[in-house]
Amino acid sequence: MRFERREHRSTLLVIATPILAVIAALAIAGLLIAAAGAPVFEAYWKILTSAFGSRLSATETLTRASPLILTGLAAAVAFRARLWNIGGEGQFYLGAIAAAAASAHLFAGLPSLLQIPLLFVVGAFAGMVLLLIPLWLRLRFSVDEVVTTLLLNFVALLFVSMLIDGVLKDPAAFGWPQSEAVDAAARLPKMLARSRLHIGLGIAVVIAFLIYFVQTRTVFGVQSRAAGLNPSGAVFAGVPLGRTLVIVAMISGGLAGLAGTIEVLGVKGYVTTDLSPGYGYSGIVVAMLANLNPLGVVLAALFTATMFVGADGMSRSMGIPTYIADVTVALSLLSMLVAVFFTQYRIRR
Amino acid sequence: MTDIVLDIRNVSKRFGDNLANDDISLSLGKGEIAALLGENGAGKTTLMSILFGHYVPDTGSVSVMGQTLPPGKPRAAIRAGVGMVHQHFSLAPNLTVLENVMTGTESLWSFGSNVSAGRKKLIEISQRFGLKVDPDARLGDLSVGEQQRVEILKALYNDARILVLDEPTAVLTKLEAETLFSTLKDMARQGLSLIFISHKLDEVMATADRIVVLRGGRQVAERKVGDTSKAELAELMVGRKVTRPVREASTPGEVVLEAAGITVRSGGVDRLKAIDFRLRAGEVLGIIGVSGNGQAVLAQLLSGTIGRSAGDLVLFGKGGGDLTVADAVSSGIGRIPEDRNRDGAIGEMAIWENAVLERLPEFSKGGLVDRKAGIAFATRIIEGFDVRGGSPTSRIRLLSGGNMQKLILGRNLIEHPKILLAAQPARGLDEGAVAAVHERILEARKAGTAVLLISEDLDEVMALADRIQAIVGGRLSPSVNAEDVDAQRLGLMMAGEWEGATDAV
């Protein structure tokens, strides 16, 4: 048996691939559910109803999807240009803490309409800075950014931990390490009353369309794609490689920082070290599931959020471990990678 | 013929709609050198992959020394004494020569490695065939020619009796190629049988005993070297008469590009040393030299991808700072890069995107790419330059080398550039495509374009260039008129012998 490169990829194949991958992942997860002693199809049904069965659960799933869309876009944009930003988690936290601090100290009292956009800028900027450092190291000294961005996650998280147990600590929190609450005017308006769902979801979806437009229609989009696919070819065609990567890093880091900002302004109102259940890392999975397509990121983020919320509910009602959600998401990523491979290669005997 | 060592019988192989091999039979005698001649895509490599067990044939069989090989088993082929020297070497650059050669010869389950026996055997083989290498040198430090020697030694170390060489000279300089041919002949005299795959007529005629010509997956002819000629082979290979175009006399116009004392320094070394040249409208200036003497740097300098350290570059009578890619493109310099896959194209992008990538300012408005205009531009190139095998929206990777080169030529020539910089424009192309590329270059010259042709191919330079300069160790010789020199004089120039010469006018 051997693999041969496909000459043409049909649109049908490109669309069917992720769907088949998800079905395959659910089928394998089914074996595990059966092994845990629960009826498989009832469990699938429970996943669906736990994620979308009530108004509460549906809004909860969408609330979870919002930061995933943004961190997914952050990874997708960077990976497209072969900038391996694994530091989404750190950029997320830095964006969150920068926005929280700015709201509590700098912009407190400003009206919502002014304060919220300002905080978005501050949070995105913090994320950008955290990615520009490893990019500078790469461009100047050829340091592999996979390592630097990954390690900076821990630096960022410990830095945030230091701040919320120190200068930014909330005196009214009975000694718990958490930041001061953001200004009331900085809280994001709800999309639906009596739910946690905030306008962050709408913002994330609009940004996804924006990124799609930039990547497919603009000079910068074509150039950054060329830079990612073949750097020396891009240089020959006059693409400014360094500048393109800097802009890509600013977009990617900015999006991850914005994700943190939106999460803190939209959901909790203050920063703790468990603000993110790994949104930065899951963003990488979301981007890969979407095959780096910005519009696909929205769907992949929805799927991932569904699995997390749904499997949570299923495990509670059926008495099987919650890890099934992690396993299913991981399995769908693996089967997606295999499926993407088969859209590019065919099997020959 | 003496005893048959290899017998390929009625082999056919189909890939989708494409019949890559159609009922091909080939036999090889002991001590014989057979050449497999054909254009790119004629089925040469497929046939050899079947012989080596990489592909399973749809019909037909392969037997070595009278024993039929099981299909699809490379190990069986190696054990039967078939050795393959790939065009892209299958060697590890971080290992030493000896380690590379011994890889795969020992059981994974044995603890020790019998290095001293391996070394003895390697040295013995290398002396016997005159393939000199240092067993302890790191492979990555060797030149391409030496690496190829290691690849051959590796096959011989596995006791190969039949050696298959896939386009062995594609990566070699002329001198290295000649050494290789004498080695191959020596091997044949010592009883090895060789098949070498090529689309270069000269080397086939010079080396092989027998030539098998493939075209479109079919075996169209088999000739003894004594009974054929280059002209006949070319016709058999292409399927029609091909003649390379001939340069007509012309009078060049004014000087459009002048280099005065240009030095390029990088990594602490002077890559170009105070070079001078003048390029005039409507002429072809050939820069000839053995690869690695500064051609690549010269091409990069004029393409706008690197800057100079000293000297003046005068473009259309105006000097200035460093030339950027954008300057080059906007001032009408067409650029054909040396390596079309690495520099000339982004394989995974569409043909139209590749056509407009270097001139995006022209094909965009307010930062938005004008896709319609880009596709129209690509369509014009495809029609005007006879690019086959793709539409404007298909990925450029799907084009064959010749068609990709035609597209690159087209995107440069369609707007009638004032200067054309052509670095190795016909490298790796088959005979038909070479003729097409040469014709386009001469057409541009006739239309008044000043062409700077950088090439290692003597025939190419003598056929196209009006004046010739040699590049050796980063220095450029004075120019000579193409009419006044022969191959021997050019050979001396390429060796750095140009004392006392002055510029020809």
Q: Please judge whether B324 and A238 are an interchain contact, meaning their C-beta atoms are less than 8 angstroms apart.
A: yes
Alpha-carbon distance of B124 to B120, in angstroms, equals 6
Provide, rounded to the nearest whole percent, the portion of chain B with pLDDT above 90: 27
What was the pLDDT predicted at B502? Answer: 67
Confidence of residue A343 (pLDDT cuts 50, 70, 90): confident
Q: A210 and chain B: CB distance < 8 Å anywhere? A: no
**What is the residue-averaged pLDDT of chain A?**
89
Confidence of residue A99 (pLDDT cuts 50, 70, 90): very high
Instruction: Locate all alpha helices (DSSP H) within B190-284, ordered by sequence.
Output: 201-207, 230-238
- Which token pair is A75? 């990874």
Residue type, A128: M
Chain A residues close to B345, C-beta within 8 Å: 230, 233
What was the pLDDT predicted at B1? Answer: 46
Query: For A277-298, how does the pLDDT look when each residue is reduced to its tens digit (9 = 90+)?
Result: 889 999 998 998 888 999 999 9
Contact between A1 and A335 (Cβ < 8 Å): no
Q: B349 and chain A: CB distance < 8 Å anywhere? A: yes
Q: B345 and chain A: CB distance < 8 Å anywhere? A: yes
Provide, rounded to the nearest whole percent, the portion of chain A with pLDDT above 90: 52
**Residue B2 pLDDT exceeds 60:** no
Query: For B199-239, how does the pLDDT look when each residue is reduced to its tens digit (9 = 90+)?
Result: 778 888 888 999 999 888 888 888 898 888 888 888 888 77
The residue count for chain B? 505
Query: For B487-498, how does the pLDDT look when each residue is reduced to its tens digit (9 = 90+)?
Result: 778 878 887 877
Which residue spans within B80-130 are E strands per DSSP?
A: 82-85
| 3-state SS class at B354 | helix
**Residue B325 pLDDT exceeds 50:** yes
- Which residue did the predictor score with more confidence, B247 or B302? B302
- Which residue did the predictor score with more confidence, A344 or B197? B197
Parts of chain B belonging to CATH 3.40.50.300? 4-238, 255-342+418-494
Average pLDDT on B275-285 reads: 93
Q: B335 and chain A: CB distance < 8 Å anywhere? A: yes
- Which token pair is A347? 């099997």
Contact between B42 and B217 (Cβ < 8 Å): yes
What was the pLDDT predicted at A239? Answer: 92
What was the pLDDT predicted at A349? Answer: 54
Long-range contacts of B472-476 (CB under 8 A, 24+ apart): B472/B289, B472/B290, B472/B293, B472/B496, B473/B273, B473/B293, B473/B294, B474/B270, B474/B271, B474/B272, B474/B273, B474/B275, B474/B293, B474/B294, B474/B297, B475/B273, B475/B274, B475/B275, B475/B294, B476/B272, B476/B275, B476/B276, B476/B277, B476/B287
**Residue B284 pLDDT exceeds 50:** yes
Residue type, A94: L
Average pLDDT on A249-269 reads: 96
Q: B373 and chain A: CB distance < 8 Å anywhere? A: no
**Residue B155 pLDDT exceeds 50:** yes
Query: For B238-262, how does the pLDDT look when each residue is reduced to its tens digit (9 = 90+)?
Result: 777 767 777 877 788 889 999 999 9
| 3-state SS class at B455 | strand
Alpha-carbon distance of B170 to B185, in angstroms, equals 19
The CA distances from residue A157 to A97, A130, B410, in Å, are 10, 12, 54
Which residue spans within B355-413 are E strands per DSSP?
A: 364-365, 368-369
What was the pLDDT predicted at B179? Answer: 85
Alpha-carbon distance of B323 to B308, in angstroms, equals 9
* Residues 6 or more apart in contact with residue A62 via CB below 8 angstroms: A197, A201, A302, A305
Query: For B311-324, how does the pLDDT look when each residue is reduced to its tens digit (9 = 90+)?
Result: 899 988 888 778 88
Which of B343, B353, B361 lies closest to A232 in CB terms?
Answer: B343
Residue from B14, B359, B360 to probe the interface with A (highest A Cβ count within 10 Å): B360
How many residue contacts between A and B have a Cβ separation below 8 Å?
73
Query: For A193-205, how does the pLDDT look when each residue is reduced to its tens digit (9 = 90+)?
Result: 888 889 999 999 9
**What is the residue-averaged pLDDT of chain B?**
86
Pairing of strands B255-266, B310-315: antiparallel
- Which token pair is B149? 């020697």
ipTM of the complex: 0.79
Q: Please judge whether A222 and B369 are an interchain contact, meaning their C-beta atoms are less than 8 angstroms apart.
A: yes
Other C-beta atoms closer than 10 Å to the C-beta of B496 total 15
| 3-state SS class at A237 | coil
- Best-predicted range by mean pLDDT (A31-45, A200-214, B330-344, B354-368): A200-214
Query: For B143-152, how does the pLDDT look when each residue is reduced to its tens digit (9 = 90+)?
Result: 777 888 888 8
Tell me which DSSP letter residue B483 carries: G
Query: For A113-137, how does the pLDDT look when each residue is reduced to its tens digit (9 = 90+)?
Result: 999 999 999 999 999 999 999 999 9
Q: What is the CATH class of B255-342+418-494? A: alpha beta
Contact between B43 and B217 (Cβ < 8 Å): yes
The CA distances from residue B75 to B121, B163, B294, B424, in Å, are 21, 15, 43, 38
What was the pLDDT predicted at A262? Answer: 96
What was the pLDDT predicted at A193? Answer: 81
DSSP element (H, E) containing B312: strand B310-315
The CA distances from residue B432 to A215, B278, B403, in Å, are 39, 32, 11
Chain B residues close to A220, C-beta within 8 Å: 367
Which among B273, B293, B288 has a CA at the least distance from the CA of B489?
B288
Confidence of residue A315 (pLDDT cuts 50, 70, 90): confident
Confidence of residue A253 (pLDDT cuts 50, 70, 90): very high
Instruction: Locate all alpha helices (DSSP H) within B385-424, ordered by sequence.
Output: 401-413
Pairing of strands B310-315, B467-472: unpaired
What was the pLDDT predicted at A311? Answer: 82
Tell me which DSSP letter residue B307 carries: -
Q: B358 and chain A: CB distance < 8 Å anywhere? A: yes
Alpha-carbon distance of A200 to A207, in angstroms, equals 10
Instruction: Locate all alpha helices (DSSP H) within chain A, ordered by sequence.
Output: 11-35, 40-52, 55-80, 88-101, 112-141, 145-164, 200-217, 219-229, 231-236, 241-263, 279-289, 294-318, 323-344
Alpha-carbon distance of B279 to B341, in angstroms, equals 28
Which among A84, A16, A33, A13 has a CA at the least distance from the CA of A307?
A33
Give the residue on A whose Cα is nearest the Cα of B336. Answer: A236
Q: Please judge whether A7 and B329 are an interchain contact, meaning their C-beta atoms are less than 8 angstroms apart.
A: no
Task: Name beta bridge partners: B263.
Answer: B310
Query: Please, what is the Cα angle at B12 between B8 and B14, to 5 degrees?
Result: 145
Confidence of residue B462 (pLDDT cuts 50, 70, 90): confident
**Residue A30 pLDDT exceeds 70:** yes
Alpha-carbon distance of B81 to B76, in angstroms, equals 9
Query: Please, what is the Cα angle at A201 between A195 and A203, to 5 degrees?
Result: 135
Alpha-carbon distance of B359 to A294, in angstroms, equals 26
Which among A325, A302, A309, A322 has a CA at the least distance from the CA of A49?
A309
Alpha-carbon distance of B476 to B2, in angstroms, equals 52
- Which residue did the predictor score with more confidence, A3 or B299? B299
What was the pLDDT predicted at A238? Answer: 92
Q: How far is A255 from chain B (nearest CA, A)?
A: 22
**Residue B109 pLDDT exceeds 80:** no
Other C-beta atoms closer than 10 Å to the C-beta of B499 total 6
Other C-beta atoms closer than 10 Å to the C-beta of A342 total 15
Q: B486 and chain A: CB distance < 8 Å anywhere? A: no
The CA distances from residue B82 to A24, B63, B152, B155, B156, in Å, are 43, 11, 12, 8, 9
> For B4-238, CATH number?
3.40.50.300
What was the pLDDT predicted at A121? Answer: 97
**Residue B103 pLDDT exceeds 60:** yes
Q: Please judge whether A218 and B329 are an interchain contact, meaning their C-beta atoms are less than 8 angstroms apart.
A: no
Q: What is the pTM (predicted TM-score) of this model?
A: 0.76
Q: Please judge whether A219 and B367 are an interchain contact, meaning their C-beta atoms are less than 8 angstroms apart.
A: yes
Chain centroid offset of residue A233 CA = 30
Query: For B24-48, how does the pLDDT look when each residue is reduced to its tens digit (9 = 90+)?
Result: 998 899 999 999 988 777 888 888 8
Average pLDDT on B394-412 reads: 88
* Residues 6 or more apart in contact with residue A122 via CB below 8 angstroms: A98, A99, A102, A261
